[in-house]
Amino acid sequence: MGLLSHRVERSEIKPGDHIYTWRAAYTYSHHGIYVGGSKVVHFTRKKEAGTAGLDSAIAISSLLSQGSPECPTFPDCGFQLPDSGVILTCLDCFLRDGFLHGFEYGVTPAVFLAKLRGGTCTTAAADPPDVVVHRAMYLLQNGFGSYDVFENNCEDFALYCKTGLLPVDEPGIGRSGQASSAIGVPLAALLSTPFKLLAAGPLGMAAVTAGMYCAGRYITDIGVRKDVVKVEVENLSAHLGWRRAKAEEEMAMKKQQTSHDSKVKKSLLPLKRKRDNYCEIRS
């Protein structure tokens, strides 16, 4: 068990394990589910299907090369259905010469907080390996919705495969520890600003900011969140459809409110002009 992440050897991983590898000089990590036979099921953007995917929970513009038909190891490396972001590649293409790491489940709060880098562990318990592999292979054939860097990314995919947990409502942020960390750093600095005035010197300021950051990471961990429910993989499409419909309904209501406010402003504009003209005459 490493301080920042958990590096493992290939001989140690088993079907159903959640694995990841760091990209772009440890800027972000890419996650997937090892399904055995040196194969990994993972999640990327639909529009890059079959070629390359832009996959990052932090750096949206970073290029992620996926398995290709020219893979010398496996002929089916890079298998991906149309209009789906879920892809099957060999372990070599998944790692892209990077080191192999294992995501840890069921860690204690103390261990979770000790891992200062998000996206490496969770306090949530993992389901049995056969259930995890079933979810991953099912999603390979049925998709995992639309990729979103903060709400539905590769780490979110792997976390769902391992736990079956999904937010009940639109959360604004998914289950990804990377996304929590990316948002948590500036948020911690912002929220801790009033307390910095009371802190004694630079060390005190750093301690307060670090404490806010750790607290933010912990309360967004899927193992302690209260807004998640267990969703069977066969019912996932209906769940995602319900969330999408709700989001579209909220968007329509916002547009309607905006349109109403615009009409009100337009109706009040002639009155404002009359008042201004009246004031000019009187002056």
Q: Which of 196, 126, 194 is nearest to 161 (CA)?
A: 126
| Residue 42 falls in the annotated catalytic set | yes
Compute the half-sphere exposure of residue 210: CA atoms within 13 Å on the CB side of its CA: 12
| 77 in catalytic set | no
Catalytic residue, chosen from 30, 31, 101, 121, is: 30
Residue 33 near residue 158, CB atoms below 8 Å = yes
Strand partners, 88: 41, 79
Asked about 6 being catalytic, the answer comes back as: no
> Which position among 6, 18, 42, 101 bears the catalytic label?
42
Longest dimension (CA), the chain: 89
How far is 260 from 97, CA to CA, in rounded Å?
55
265 burial via Cβ count (<10 Å: 0-12, 13-18, 19+): exposed
Look-up of token digits 């899927």:
222
Radius of gyration for the chain, computed over Cα atoms and rounded to the nearest angstrom: 23
Contact 42, 64 (CB under 8 A): no
* 113 backbone dihedrals φ, ψ, rounded to 5°: -70, -30
Number of H helices, E strands in the chain: 8, 9
Report, as residue numbers or ranges, the catalytic residues. 30, 42, 154
